[in-house]
Amino acid sequence: MKTWFMIILAAAIVILIIPTIIVGVFSGTATELERPISSSNEEQSQPIRVEISGKDPVINLYNHYNKELVTMDLEEYVVGVVAAEMPASFEMEALKAQAVAARTLAVFKMKALGGKGCSRYEGADVCSEFSHCQAWISDEQMKKNWGKSYEENLSKIKEAVFSTWGEIMTYNGKAIEVFFHSTSNGKTENVDEVFSTSLPYYDVVESPGDENGSRYKATVSFTIDEFIRKIKSKYKDSNITKENIRDQIKILSYTEGDRVKEIMIGGVKVKGTDFRNLFNLNSADFKLYFQGDKVVIETRGYGHGVGMSQVGADYMAEQGKDYREILHHYYQGIEIEKIR
């Protein structure tokens, strides 16, 4: 009888303990599985709100070299832009700044992301014409341009692009409208002096180092007859002749960026940017003087002067500035964010 009592008591103890053990084991496992996993991404800035369905965005490019519309990954496109727009010999941080600027311009234009696309070629987000969208070259063209340096140069440019993967400049959460140029005259230019639009992230800033650029200074000359013909081809009412021309040209005003704002020619007031375009000058920072039967024009800088100077960016990189510092210098009040 005593033996049966001991058996029944032991069984009761087992029945009471086992559920507790089982609950404890599964409770512990569940707690581990349900614990939220922390991510280092929580410490990074949040991307801007762009719908890309979890995939790298693609861009429609009109390749004007072979007159073909092609589709490619955005980052692949940016590699071709940096290769075309900036010498591979430039400092890495300058190349990174160029990559972010090029990507921003593309995102601003991409129809799939709310942009208006390229206005020159139907179906294209961008074209490869530097004078319209931004320059771009194919891998084949890189090989022709670089020869034996192809592998080294391409590796450097890919590093600049992929180390800034997905980064663009934004203002109030939207991709900015990007302008950049080769070489300033020592200062950038207000966007409304060149493109007749006002954008809050552009201002006149100092751009040191541009004087070291190979295109910082240039001189062109025209015979007086050539000069008069060009003027009259656009400004028929200009009252200039070979006899009075020396008294009929006067620079009236300068922009904040030290470029010609207005010039008077034979009673006609001409914008400095229009004069630059008419004579295909490197810059709107120009001076005129007469030398015998010629009109000589000297320019400082290469390009419109708005936004980042590429030579200036290279100089800043040489001085130890990183790509973010370079971009914040040339584009005021912007943020650098990832599109995904």
**Burial classification of residue 217, based on how many CB atoms lie within 10 Å of its CB (0-12 exposed, 13-18 middle, 19 or more buried):** middle
User: 198: which residues sit within 8 A by CB, 6+ positions away?
Assistant: 191, 192
Residue ranges of E strands in the chain:
58-63, 68-73, 126-127, 167-171, 174-175, 180-181, 217-223, 249-254, 260-265, 268-271, 286-291, 294-300, 308-309, 335-338
Residue 23: pLDDT above 80?
no
**Average pLDDT over every residue of 202-224:** 97
Q: What is the mean pLDDT of the chain?
A: 87
Residue 297: pLDDT above 90?
yes
- CA 326, CA 1: separation in Å to the nearest integer? 94
Amino acid at 39: S
Give me 20's structure tokens. 């507790």
CA atoms within 13 A on the CB side of 320: 0
3-state secondary structure of 133: coil
**Average pLDDT over every residue of 215-233:** 96
pLDDT at 5: 42
Range from 204-213, 234-243, 324-333 carrying the lowest mean pLDDT = 234-243
Residue 37: pLDDT above 50?
no
pLDDT at 196: 80
Quick check: 269 and 262 in contact, CB under 8 A?
Answer: yes
Q: How confident is the model at residue 56 (pLDDT cuts 50, 70, 90)?
A: confident
The larger pLDDT score, comparing residue 37 to residue 79, is at 79
Residue 19: pLDDT above 90?
no
Residue 40: pLDDT above 50?
no
- CA 173, CA 309: separation in Å to the nearest integer? 24
pLDDT at 198: 93
pLDDT at 20: 38
Quick check: 276 and 284 in contact, CB under 8 A?
Answer: yes
- CA 152, CA 337: separation in Å to the nearest integer? 29
Nearest-5° Cα angle at 162, 107 to 150: 110
User: Hey, where are the domains in the chain?
Assistant: 58-189+305-338, 217-300
**Average pLDDT over every residue of 125-138:** 96
State how beta strands 335-338 and 167-171 pair: antiparallel
**Average pLDDT over every residue of 209-231:** 96
C-alpha distance from residue 149 to each of 154, 156, 161, 221 (Å):
8, 11, 18, 37
The residues facing 180 across adjacent strands are 308
Residue 3: pLDDT above 80?
no
Give me 23's structure tokens. 């609950």
Quick check: 77 and 99 in contact, CB under 8 A?
Answer: no
Query: Residue 52: phi, psi to the nearest 5?
Result: -130, 10
Residue 215: pLDDT above 80?
yes
Query: Residue 48: phi, psi to the nearest 5?
Result: -75, 160
